[in-house]
Amino acid sequence: MSSSAPARLGAVEPKLAFDHVTRRYNGVSAVDALSLQIDEGSFVALVGTSGSGKSSLLRLVNRLDRPDFGKVLIDGCDVATIDPIVLRRSVGYVFQNIGLFPHMTVAENIGIVPRLAGRAPADVAAALAQVELPANYADRYPAQLSGGQQQRVGIARALAGEGKLLLMDEPFGALDPVTRDRLGSTVQALHETLGLTTILVTHDMAEALLLADRVVVMAQGQIVADATPREMIAGLAGPGADPLIAIPRKQAERLGRLAQ
């Protein structure tokens, strides 16, 4: 499939749009003339092998990096025209390495974005409840938490800015399978209840199919497939998706044989 997106004449402005975006490192395109539109309320998974451009694309949204060519727009506004500090406080971002401040308590980590933005203090107990952690964790430090608990706090901190756009860059990659599954379900529920627009970068096609309502496959900085999970599983997304779809399909077949 082509990486170019059709014009949206007469349509509602997308929440997030990449307009012929290119990002090069040492002359090599990590993102190559890519256009993509993500509607408000969508849960989109970006998948692909290492080096396909997924994380590079995500970093362009809140100006952790900038394109060499093209534009990134949020609600129709070019992010290059927005103060990067203001932008980052309004867009939730969850990293694989979590990035909690080790010298701050859980409450301080969650409350830092509202405090820096000059808003009312965060309701820490409510924020913890959203990510299924008890209120008495507020006074703990990151080192006193498990990896899964730290990532839940990272998600709570990302949501404390009260923005409706949530970016997640391999947030579950370092977690054990049980914790990963539970946290994925938590994120999916938060996406629905808070009315978020969520973009998840993941190497795990099964995770993408189970959590997202749209799966975008990247290779060499371009989009090679873009479809719903049902279309992906049915083989309707085109050859660009076939190698990734084959993995969970083979795993399901092997498990089925073991159960016989």
**Of 87-101, 126-140, 181-195, 214-228, the least confident:** 87-101
pLDDT tens digits along 33-77: 999 999 999 999 999 999 999 999 999 999 999 999 999 999 999
9 has a pLDDT exceeding 60: no
100 has a pLDDT exceeding 50: yes
Mean pLDDT, the chain, integer: 90
* Residue 192 domain-assigned (yes or no): yes
* Residue 2 domain-assigned (yes or no): no
* Residue 259 domain-assigned (yes or no): no
For residue 94, what are the CA distances in angstroms to 3, 25, 201, 258? 26, 24, 10, 37
Share of the chain above pLDDT 70, in %: 95
| Span 234-252, average pLDDT | 89
- Report the domain count for the chain: 1
Percentages helix, strand, coil for the chain (3-state, rounded to 5) are 40, 25, 35
* Residue 9 domain-assigned (yes or no): no
Q: What is the pLDDT of residue 12?
A: 55
* Residue 260 domain-assigned (yes or no): no
**Tokens 């999970």 sit on residue:** 229
The Cα 225–Cα 208 span in angstroms is 13
For 218, the domain range is 16-254
**The domain spanning residue 39 has which CATH number?**
3.40.50.300
pLDDT tens digits along 154-193: 999 999 988 899 999 999 887 888 989 999 999 999 999 9
Q: What is the pLDDT of residue 8?
A: 40
Which backbone phi and psi does 114 adopt, to 5 degrees? -60, -35
Count, in order, helices (H) and strands (E) of the chain.
9, 10
233 burial via Cβ count (<10 Å: 0-12, 13-18, 19+): middle
Q: What is the pLDDT of residue 157?
A: 94
* Residue 6 domain-assigned (yes or no): no
Which backbone phi and psi does 250 adopt, to 5 degrees? -65, -40
226 has a pLDDT exceeding 90: yes
Which pTM was predicted?
0.89
Q: Which of 116, 102, 197 is nearest to 150 (CA)?
A: 102
Banded model confidence at residue 259, pLDDT cuts 50, 70, 90: confident
**Of 53-57, 97-101, 184-188, 205-209, the least confident:** 97-101
| Span 106-130, average pLDDT | 89
**Strand ranges across the sheet with 77-78:** 28-38, 16-25, 69-74, 77-78
* Residue 4 domain-assigned (yes or no): no
| Span 86-107, average pLDDT | 90
- Work out the angle at residue 46's Cα, subtended by the Cα atoms of residues 44 and 51, and round it to the nearest 5 degrees: 170
Q: What is the pLDDT of residue 172?
A: 87
Q: What is the pLDDT of residue 95?
A: 84
Q: What is the pLDDT of residue 2?
A: 38
